[in-house]
Amino acid sequence: MAALSKVPPATWGEAKEQIREVYYEGEIFKGKPTRVFAYYGKPEGAGPFPGIILVHGGGGAAFRDWVKHWVKNGYAALAMDLAGNGPAGRLPDGGPDQGDDVKFPVFGPDETRNVWTYQAVAAVIRGHSLLASLNEVDPNRTALTGISWGGYLTCIVAGLDHRFKAAVPVYGCGFIHEKSAWVDNCFAKMPDDLKQRWVDNFEPSRYLGQAQCPMLFMNGTSDFAYPLESYQKSYNLVKSPVTLCIQINRGHGHIWTFPEVDAFIDSYLKKGEMLLKIGSTKITGNKAGAIISGSGTVAKVQLDYANAKDCVWQSMPAEVNGKSVTVNLPAVRPIIFYFNVTDSRGMTVSNPHVELPTEATPE
């Protein structure tokens, strides 16, 4: 971190529609120096502006339009490429590609720096150092968000780089060696010593407990890659404030238009209105309840639930009395459920899901 916190040498291109191309120094990869390509943008004026780092997912790239989205929101934004590519394809001095062969390679104890995760985490932190060094950026107001594999990286970086004031992993989480899209096709093929080495170095669960900034975890109930069980184990490790936003069958993709992400980061970097929060579920007999906190106006509360055997999700309304929400649980067992609360702006937050495995309900 001492080395990565230094400003990397960078070469800047011309600005076009408030967006500039930039190449900055990356990690040594298999004995050779590398460069990282990124798009950088800022609003009109001198600033200082809050800054944000944007981390793409699998199959993604440095997305110019993602930078434009945050520039429109009043941020200086940097989106780097984590697959060794530039704006026109493969760089001659780019880092590793982003296929499973470099994410889950055979590597020895002295070869961790050549693994994609190491290279990608370093590129994200170096990008933050570059962003924070710019005259128009307020280095005390920076945030981080990543999508899918970018969310996975966000979980790791949030535990390492304590300069960030907020972080939002979308989809991506930890415990992927236990339950995820990669258990059968990647981890199952690893010998035990290699799997343990990978987990010790590159599993987000090894880093999330060190995060110091507030975090918003956003996912869908049936995400193909990052299931709710792994998601919950991941956010339960975080000691700083955690907000959840879980939606039924949320689509998985490079989607950067979720309004809760913008509002959450605004609340910490621009003193915007905070999202509501809803506490853990309390169960008495067949009734479930929770307490809502925050100054926003509650517009709607619902229970999202499914039979835990088939996970076909549906919703039903819940009752609100002031900041207290209650509902009579549907006659479904085993059942998995959580509350969703929507404020007057249309922003939705969730509480941790609960699973009741039998007909019995606790008193």
Residue with tokens 């039998």: 358
Compute CA distances 272 → 62, 73, 266, 269, whole Å: 27, 12, 5, 8
Residue 209 is classified by DSSP as G
What is the domain partition of the chain in residue ranges?
10-269, 277-356
Q: Name the pTM for this structure.
A: 0.96
Compute CA distances 153 → 58, 172, 276, whole Å: 11, 8, 26
Helix (H, G, I), strand (E, B) or coil at 333: coil
For strands 166-170 and 137-147, give the pairing: parallel
Per-residue confidence band for 324, with pLDDT thresholds at 50, 70 and 90? very high
Per-residue confidence band for 359, with pLDDT thresholds at 50, 70 and 90? low
- Tell me how many degrees the CA angle 115-3-120 measures, rounded to the nearest 5: 30
- Is 277-356 the same fold as 10-269? no
Per-residue confidence band for 363, with pLDDT thresholds at 50, 70 and 90? very low
Amino acid at 334: P
How many CA atoms, within 13 angstroms, populate the side-chain half-sphere of residue 84? 22
* Tokens coding 161: 């780089």
* Tokens coding 144: 């981080």
Residue 360 has pLDDT above 90, yes or no: no
Supply the pLDDT for residue 225: 96
Report the C-alpha gap between 121 and 134 in whole angstroms.
21
* Tokens coding 160: 């390492």
- Residue 254: alpha-carbon gap to chain centroid: 12
Residue 361 has pLDDT above 50, yes or no: no
- H or E element at residue 356: strand 354-356
Mean pLDDT across the chain: 96
Residue with tokens 């605004």: 266
Backbone angles phi, psi at 282, to 5 degrees: -110, 135
* pLDDT tens-digit readout, 35-94: 999 999 999 999 999 999 999 999 999 999 999 999 999 999 999 999 999 999 999 999
Are 326 and 319 in contact by the 8 Å Cβ rule? The answer is: yes
Handedness of CA 335, 240, 275, 149 (dihedral sign): negative
Report the C-alpha gap between 135 and 162 in whole angstroms.
21
Supply the pLDDT for residue 358: 76
Supply the pLDDT for residue 196: 98
Q: Which of the two residues, 359 and 54, has the higher pLDDT score?
A: 54
Report the C-alpha gap between 339 and 182 in whole angstroms.
29
Separation of first and last alpha carbons in the chain = 49
Considering only CA atoms, which of 54, 51, 70 is closest in space to residue 62?
A: 54
* Tokens coding 339: 């509350």
Report the C-alpha gap between 77 and 65 in whole angstroms.
11
Q: Which of the two residues, 357 and 72, has the higher pLDDT score?
A: 72
Work out the percent of the chain whose per-residue pLDDT is above 90: 96
CATH topology assigned to domain 10-269? Rossmann fold (3.40.50)
* pLDDT tens-digit readout, 204-253: 999 999 999 999 999 999 999 999 999 999 999 999 999 999 999 999 99
Considering only CA atoms, which of 287, 283, 285 is closest in space to residue 327?
A: 287
Superfamily of domain 277-356: Immunoglobulins (2.60.40.10)
